[in-house]
Structure 1
Amino acid sequence: MCSHTTNNSIANQGIYQTIEKSAIEILQPNKSTIWTISEPASIAWKTWNIGSEKSIRFFLARDDMVVQELGTFKNTFSVNGIKLAKNISSGDTYQVVGIELFPDNKYHVAKFATPYFSIRNEEADARRNTSKYGNSQKNTVAKALESPNRQSFEGRKISYVKELVFDNEKVSIDIWDHGRQDDDVVSIYLNGETIISKHLLTYRKKRITFTLDPSKSNDLFLYAHNLGKFPPNTVAIEITDGKTKEDIVLNSDLKSCEAVLIKIKK
């Protein structure tokens, strides 16, 4: 009798755990969608066991490579008015990827990729047929050189997602796999120097302490050495100076790296 009760209890726990898992499904765009770059885009989705106060982060991917971060939005099931990057070319192998941010169950993160859909950009297609040494490209290069932030690293574009300010120069970071454990291998760079090298991400946090340069904005970025089984590589990072703590999520693929700028309060 006791054995039967115990087995039922275990079974009920298993059902409960299954029900409590979070999930997301993106309804729009779908396989029949055609986005036009000149017009704002919309995303619609539904979720299970993700509260309205939680946030979902969306990416536009092509051939398993992230081409644009579409934004982080509260779980309101739809968002309109998304501006698409003007340099995105026409194609039929685009996907929108949605990832749950900071889930209650750290061992399960809801993630969803849409079927392939199409994007049309006649202006970008026409520009690609012109000389690569045109005036527009020269102006773009000049602006990049004038920027105080690092624009690329080893041929990969760097995108800055946030600026952080701390009181103390000595800072610690913890990193761990924000999504599924799928053999992601990453490095973390500070001001172009490796502080975490070729680390296999798991749910176990890895900590490192380092000293910031108080005279400038320090750039911290994520570098992916592979794509794992579920691209892009998504890393949860907790940064603290012992007084202030910041939680961020960075993504990287084989063409781009996300970064943050870190300053010391003066």
Structure 2
Amino acid sequence: MFFDTHLHLIDMDRLEYPWLDEAPALRANASFEDYSRTARRVGITRTLHMEVDVAPAQQMAETEMVEELMAVPDSLICGAIASCRPENEGFPTYVENVLQRPAVRGLRRVLHVVPDGVSRQPLFRANINRLATTRLTFDMCFLARQLPIAAELADACPDVTFVLDHGGVPDIRGGDHANWARDLRALAKRPNVIAKLSGFIAYADPDRWTLNDLRPYVETVIDAFGFERLVWGSDSPVVTLGGSIETWVAATQALIADCSARERALLTHENAEKLWLAD
């Protein structure tokens, strides 16, 4: 059983995705129906929708779309991680509105598409600290070179639960394991950070990667955070840059085959259930 904590749905007929102009490989609708068909075949039983950096004015519209899909009979979607802009003065009001929507379990701001200084701003950090007394987690979407900045943010907001997307986006294709591993281990010392093992095949050479290319990166994340602070995600449809959901599920199963049943359960679903569904 897999709890997919990182599903993106793209509906270009309903919402605007400015960033897709620079990502032609992903510029296509990614429907809930197509995802559900595949997910049920590979053992995914629950999923959280991860915001897709829609046009800022449509942030709440994206959440409304997810709420509608959650209402579909036997829906796999059990919650949403909503988009936000903590650098803005209006963030507190936005959080108040979000908290009126039980579907929203956390927030995310994609931070590798803005200057490094954005998350270092006093207003940004003060706004993130507001989440400490709520049910909301905060997904950190940083590149490998930005992991020290992620550590700074976690230190500045010690009572907020952070989730590191994609294990800090290692450069598997380029083979830069050492620098990423050093900074990842430093970040893992912060007890308020959880790591997400999501979509690693998208960062490998799509034509050449093998299980052994992924292994040192997956094992480093597991060793740094331990099974008690790990969740799993597909990162669909971004995962298709390196294969498919089916391929990533199979690779994950192979890479954790020698782990105990308890360890596998923590990674694949139990930690996510406790973090986002245990009210």
Q: Say yes or no: TM over 0.5.
A: no
Query: Bigger radius of gyration, 1 or 2?
Result: 1
Of Structure 1 and Structure 2, which has the larger fraction of its residues in helix?
2
Of Structure 1 and Structure 2, which has the larger fraction of its residues in strand?
1
The normalised TM-score by structure 1 is 0.28
